[in-house]
Structure 1
Amino acid sequence: MKSRWLLVLLIMGLIGTTVWLGLPQAPAAVRISEAGAGFKLPDLQGAMQTLPEGEVVLLNFWATWCPPCRKEIPSMVELHEKFAAQGLKVVAVSVDQNRDHLSSFVREQQMPFQVLHDADSLVSQGYGVFRYPESFLIDKQGKVRYHLLGAVDWMSEPLMKTIEGMLAEPATKAYGSVSGELENNS
């Protein structure tokens, strides 16, 4: 009888381990210099676009068929309207298959920011995206500062303060930059 229970426990342990190993893993930390290398995607008119450099960027991966993605669009539109003049760039990367359907949806939702089409999901995979929506706040130096999973209220006070702070930072390049004060020897 004891050996039977031992066998049942062993089988349950093996099944549990197999299921656990099969679950999707959260992505490793992502740096724009790694994930964004060769980042070129078509916009809704088919023109190839790259990620803006030297700007604060909200990079959002989404799809029209995703209810949480649809839920966060109004606050993302509001965020764009509030901060576009201060330099925030919103780039929404859709993984939808059909560009015509995507274009219709964007018109219906009156999305005023840049929408790119990642039909084969290669760029989203490069960023380690494993569910939608998934967003990255990227600073002026091109570094991912925040990685947000799921639908976000972009007009929440903590996010607004974070974005305001990022917009206030100087635009220096991450490579070859020197910080500190210089002496004036004149």
Structure 2
Amino acid sequence: LEGIPTPGATVNIVDAATGKAVATVTSDADNSALIELHPRAAQVFYAESTAPGQRYRSRPFQAAPDRGVQIPVMVMPRMLATFDLRAQAEGEFLAFRVHYSLSNNSWFPYSAGPSGLVLPLPSGAQGAVVADVDADHVTVTPTGFRLARPLEPGATTFVAGYSLLAAKGKVRLAQDLPLGAYTSRLAIVKEPGMAVELLPKLVATVTTTGKLTYFVVEDIMLPPNRALDLTITMPVYPRAEMLVRSACRAMALDRTHALIGKPLADFTAPQLDGTRLTLSSLRGKPMLVNFTATFDNLAHTERPTLAKLAATLPELAIVLVASDADPKKVRDAVGPKPPYRVVLDVPTAANLGPITTAWGVSLIPESFLIDRKGIVRAYVVNSRDWGTPDSLGCVQALLR
């Protein structure tokens, strides 16, 4: 009941025609019971139980006179809510993505009232959204996610998101759960200096998947009208990095790279005009260092957007590091007068040059955003459109 095994539950077997109990049984330690009935022809029954102070009924069933019937009886709330909540620090915010599953365990639609069912947002939540594919049946209100239509029998699912702002380095997730929580899950991307304070009886384990490490809480079970309440201590970063993290939230940056927060790894390399460029000579300007190659198709689509970015933000120093041995191929790719600097990083192994591998780049294209002091502030994986408002906002954070 409400996620807790209940040996000893009392169940009545009721004649559906008269509404009277024809047998009463109490389950034993293994949650099973044997009932002897002598049904009339075509007699219909249902199982019924009351706990705690609420009546529950099964679907109707019939017993075959010569064989009886075996029925599983699960005593549970009519509505069960399950969530899979994932969170990741994004600047001064903790960004949440949640997958809701609402199970109507009855055989007829569930209506929460004229205004529909509202799943409350956590206190202080900002920027709440629902996935485009779910927008036809779920809307965002100032107080929560609203499902206006009655819920059909079975599961109704949707995906949503919101953010919580850290106050003095802490984020409190306080979320009312009118339907409770059944076998739910919480996973928070773990960063250095992060800690999680949980409700009693909830235990967080640390799990690594790929490049990311998570605080994970499995099998969250809470009865209806309880709240999920926990506090996350956020890592403290320099203000310059926090500004970039906040501005770049929409770009879903990879923050696991070892160079983030550290001085750029300096290099000197030949440019297409034969002169040599030392990267540290650009210190004092914000920089975007893009690792590319002529053999990579994604890089072909990214380069025009880098040219657009260079025209929009002329104070930004853009440097392309091309893992190519043939300068002619690179000139053909970038054009005769590219609006950014291009250096050659002649490959020595695995098609990538030594500068590229020294920066920890194994796949291209990848980019690094560097502030005026030469500190790496962001690592951008894969090809991006640098002309979008999200990309411009991210880069402009370096100019402040």
TM-score by length of 2: 0.33
Counterpart residue type for residue 65 of structure 1: F
Give the total of aligned pairs: 140
How far apart are 1:166 and its partner, in Å? 1.3
Question: Among the aligned pairs, what percent are the same residue?
Answer: 29
Counterpart residue type for residue 299 of structure 2: C
Q: Which residue of 1 aligns with 2:284?
A: 54
Q: Give the number of the structure whose residues are more often strand, by fraction.
A: 2
2:264/2:370 contact within 8 Å kept = no
How far apart are 1:71 and its partner, in Å? 0.7
Deviation per CA, 1:51-107: give whole Å up to 9, x if none. 1111100100001110100011111100000001xx101101100121122123222
Q: Which residue of 1 aligns with 2:355?
A: 123
Counterpart residue type for residue 49 of structure 1: L
What are the equivalent positions in structure 2 for 1:28-177 lying under 5 Å apart?
28-30=257-259, 33=263, 35-36=265-266, 39-51=267-279, 52-84=282-314, 87-107=315-335, 111-120=338-347, 121-168=353-400
Distance 1:115 1:144 in 2: 19
Task: Give RMSD over aligned pairs.
Answer: 2.1
How far apart are 1:34 and its partner, in Å? 5.9
Distance 1:166 1:64 in 2: 28
Closer, same or farther: CA 34–113 of 1 in aligned 2, 3 Å: closer
2:257/2:379 contact within 8 Å kept = no
2:263/2:376 contact within 8 Å kept = no
Task: Tell which has more relative contact order, 1 or 2 (C-alpha 8 A, sep 6+).
Answer: 1
Distance 1:80 1:128 in 2: 25
How far apart are 1:163 and its partner, in Å? 1.7
Distance 1:151 1:138 in 2: 18
How far apart are 1:33 and its partner, in Å? 3.2
Closer, same or farther: CA 50–134 of 1 in aligned 2, 3 Å: same
SS state at 1:72 partner: helix
Which stretches in structure 1 are left out of the alignment for 5+ residues? Answer: 1-22, 169-186
2:264/2:374 contact within 8 Å kept = no
Q: Which residue of 2 aligns with 1:7?
A: none
Distance 1:132 1:111 in 2: 20
Provide runs of 4+ in structure 1 moved above 6 Å: none
TM-score by length of 1: 0.69
Which stretches in structure 2 are left out of the alignment for 5+ residues? Answer: 1-209, 212-253, 348-352
Distance 1:154 1:81 in 2: 11
How far apart are 1:161 and its partner, in Å? 1.2
Distance 1:104 1:165 in 2: 32
